């Protein structure tokens, strides 16, 4: 019977120890829950930031395409202007050469006509 008494005396201690363990486990669970909620909030914030970055990237892509169209139009316009300037330069050159040849011919005709 002495063993029974010892075991009943141990019962409140083991009950207290069990409650203490249970309380510690609940505190651990509570701590893990707080950490998990914090991680979920951070993941959600990252998701929002990623969506924002994706929207900005799409916007930059659209602006880049518009810029490319504008530069291609400008490039074509400048090519046309350069072609016109080349044609005008050649035409002016031909006119100058024709005038010079005309003056030479007129000078030769005048000098030969004056000798007769």
66 lies in a domain? yes
**Residue 116: DSSP 8-state:** -
103 lies in a domain? yes
Question: What is the pLDDT, as a whole number, of residue 52?
Answer: 95
44 lies in a domain? no
Question: What is the pLDDT, as a whole number, of residue 11?
Answer: 61
Nearest to 3 by CA among 100, 11, 48, 55: 11
Q: Domain tally for the chain?
A: 1
Question: What is the pLDDT, as a whole number, of residue 80?
Answer: 95
CA 63 to centroid of chain Cα atoms: 10
Question: What is the pLDDT, as a whole number, of residue 15?
Answer: 76
6 lies in a domain? no
pTM of the predicted model as reported, rounded to 2 decimal places:
0.50
Q: How far apart are CA 17 and CA 21, in angstroms?
A: 6
Question: What is the pLDDT, as a whole number, of residue 5?
Answer: 47
Q: How far apart are CA 54 and CA 21, in angstroms?
A: 48
Question: What is the pLDDT, as a whole number, of residue 49?
Answer: 95
Per-residue pLDDT of the chain (116 residues; tens, 9 = 90+): 444 444 555 566 777 887 888 899 999 999 999 999 999 999 999 999 999 999 999 999 999 999 999 999 999 999 999 999 999 999 999 999 999 999 999 888 888 865 55
17 lies in a domain? no
89 lies in a domain? yes
Domain that includes residue 65, residue range: 53-113
Helix ranges restricted to H, 1-116 = 2-115
> Length of the chain in residues, anyone?
116
Question: What is the pLDDT, as a whole number, of residue 112?
Answer: 81
34 lies in a domain? no
Nearest to 77 by CA among 88, 87, 65, 69: 69
27 lies in a domain? no
Question: What is the pLDDT, as a whole number, of residue 67?
Answer: 97
């Amino acid at each position: 019977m002495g063993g029974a008494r010892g075991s009943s005396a141990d019962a409140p201690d083991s009950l207290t120890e069990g409650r203490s363990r249970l309380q510690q486990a609940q505190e651990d669970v509570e701590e893990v829950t707080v950490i998990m909620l914090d991680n979920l909030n951070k993941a959600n914030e990252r998701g929002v930031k990623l969506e924002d970055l994706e929207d900005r990237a799409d916007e930059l892509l659209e602006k880049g395409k518009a810029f490319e169209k504008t530069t291609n139009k400008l490039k074509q316009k400048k090519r046309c202007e350069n072609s016109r300037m080349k044609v005008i330069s050649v035409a002016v050159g031909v006119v100058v050469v024709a005038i010079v040849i005309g003056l030479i011919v007129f000078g030769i005709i005048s000098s030969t006509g004056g000798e007769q």
